[in-house]
Amino acid sequence: MNANRVAFITGITGQDGSYLAELLISKEYLVHGLIRRSSTINTARIAHLFHNPALKLHYGDMTDSACLYKILNNIKTAHPTMERLEIYNLAAQSHVKISFEMPEYTADTDGFGTLKLLEAIRNNNLDSVARFYQASTSELYGKVQEMPQRETTPFYPRSPYAVGKLYAYWIVKNYREAYGMHASNGILFNHGGVRRGHNFVERKITLGLGKILRGETDRLILGNIDSQRDLGSAQDYVEGMWLMLQQDAPDDYVLATGETHSVREMIELAFGMASIRLKWRGTGSNAVGYDEATGKDLIFIDPKYYRPTEVDVLWGDASKAAQVLGWRPRTSFQQLIAEMVQQDTQIVYKVV
């Protein structure tokens, strides 16, 4: 461990937090992480790091400003000579559909939680030492005003999640301008992988495929399969987060693959990797995907998965991140889906 490499990650038990913790530990950081108390185990993604002396976990919650202050105070006391503290704010109620069902909690965590953390930094007099990364999102573009979307594209959020994240985006920018803080927004387009939460669409597809192949179910039920997403690999994206905090000056960056694919394409690709060629009949909520070889209906639509306001298409332009940070995604869409199919079905599919 290097005495000058200290980081604090909120959301360390999440998909991105777990990959980021691994990356930072591999770079000799001492990593502090915020975890929530839960009645069930919520640390599966970081269980392999538990006994690593480079990891220290602290109980807390983004809605609890006193604990955020106290954790930062403890970190300051533990590292009295640190010249830099990298803070990655990844904690969020991150599910867009669920944000319509719990809008207030989503705003408290994703919006005001960010403000509380920024205030905890200032109240601990850590503003000049801290480098702050905010997990902003392509959901900010919502009803997109430009194709593809880049840092200068106007925002048009379409969910309580996106509106909460919009507040966070602007408060980060405001604290940068008002107090000179090294605070950056990473505007990340969708990214997943084998640690992706089970109720995000690409993981739901590969897990559903696995259940069908094992005979545990005879169908996969989804919502809007015509929306399009720019989907990359979480492991590639956490490198971009780290690069943002290594820059002399803070700034905002899009991370994206530059390709967009419909949910329908994701389904066809995943099922194709298991040698199931899907054909479709019907449209909208009557669309059904069936196995061309057997005629068996496999994919159904249930409008209960529709959002009151949908984001139809996301397609990112990460040229700025490429030019300034030297960041480029390494994993193709096909490779990413193949990795997930392999994990969830045990079928090895080689992408050529």
Contacts with ligand NAP by CB under 6 A lie at 10-11, 13-17, 34, 36, 38, 42, 61-63, 90-94, 109, 135, 137, 188, 190-191, 197
Q: Is 104 a catalytic residue?
A: no
Q: Minimum distance between the CB of residue 224 and ligand G4F, rounded to whole angstroms? A: 4
Q: Which does 284 bind (CB under 5 to 8 A by kind): ligand G4F, ligand NAP, none?
A: none
| Contact predicate 296/290, CB 8 Å | yes
Q: Minimum distance between the CB of residue 230 and ligand G4F, rounded to whole angstroms? A: 8
Alpha-carbon separation of residue 254 from 28, 228, 251, 302 (angstroms)? 27, 17, 10, 33
- Please state, in angstroms and rounded to a whole number, the distance separating the CA atoms of residues 285 and 275: 26
The residue assigned the tokens 């959301």 is 11
Tokens encoding 249 = 């000056």
Q: Which does 317 bind (CB under 5 to 8 A by kind): ligand G4F, ligand NAP, none?
A: none
Q: Which of 134, 153, 190, 206 is the binder for ligand G4F (CB under 6 A)? A: 190
Q: Are strands 232-233 and 261-262 parallel, antiparallel or unpaired?
A: unpaired
Q: Which of 7, 75, 212, 222 is the binder for ligand G4F (CB under 6 A)? A: 222
- Please state, in angstroms and rounded to a whole number, the distance separating the CA atoms of residues 215 and 284: 27
What secondary structure does DSSP assign to 137-153, as a single string? EGGGT-S-SSSSB-TTS
The residue assigned the tokens 């559903």 is 208
For residue 40, what are the contacts with CB-CB under 8 A and spacing of at least 6? Answer: none
Neighbouring-strand partners of residue 313: 228
Q: Which of 30, 35, 62, 201 is the binder for ligand G4F (CB under 6 A)? A: 201
| Contact predicate 191/203, CB 8 Å | no
- Site for ligand G4F, residues 120 to 159, rule: CB under 6 A: 137-139
Neighbouring-strand partners of residue 253: 186
Residue whose CB is nearest to ligand NAP in the complex, by number: 14
Q: CB atoms < 10 A from the CB of 27, how many?
A: 12
Q: Which does 22 bind (CB under 5 to 8 A by kind): ligand NAP, ligand G4F, none?
A: none
Q: Which of 18, 109, 224, 235 is the binder for ligand G4F (CB under 6 A)? A: 224
Tokens encoding 156 = 């048009």
- Please state, in angstroms and rounded to a whole number, the distance separating the CA atoms of residues 194 and 141: 26
Q: Which is nearer to ligand NAP, 93 or 224 (CB)?
A: 93
| Residue 10 engages ligand G4F in binding (rule: CB under 6 A) | no
- Please state, in angstroms and rounded to a whole number, the distance separating the CA atoms of residues 127 and 116: 14
Order of strands across the sheet with 288-291?
220-222, 297-301, 288-291, 278-281
Q: Is 153 a catalytic residue?
A: no
Q: Is 339 a catalytic residue?
A: no
Q: Which of 5, 45, 116, 204 is the binder for ligand G4F (CB under 6 A)? A: 204
Q: Which is nearer to ligand G4F, 15 or 124 (CB)?
A: 15
Q: Which is nearer to ligand G4F, 22 or 139 (CB)?
A: 139
Q: Which does 14 bind (CB under 5 to 8 A by kind): ligand G4F, ligand NAP, none?
A: ligand NAP
Q: Which does 42 bind (CB under 5 to 8 A by kind): ligand G4F, ligand NAP, none?
A: ligand NAP
4 burial via Cβ count (<10 Å: 0-12, 13-18, 19+) = middle
| Residue 91 engages ligand G4F in binding (rule: CB under 6 A) | no
| Residue 340 engages ligand G4F in binding (rule: CB under 6 A) | no
Q: Which is nearer to ligand NAP, 11 or 210 (CB)?
A: 11
Instruction: Given the residues 139, 202, 268, 339, select the one marked as catalytic.
Output: 139
Instruction: Given the residues 88, 141, 161, 349, select the one marked as catalytic.
Output: 161
Residues involved in catalysis: 137, 139, 161
Residues near ligand G4F, by CB under 6 A = 94, 96-97, 137-139, 189-190, 199-201, 204, 222-225, 227, 229, 263, 305, 307, 310, 314
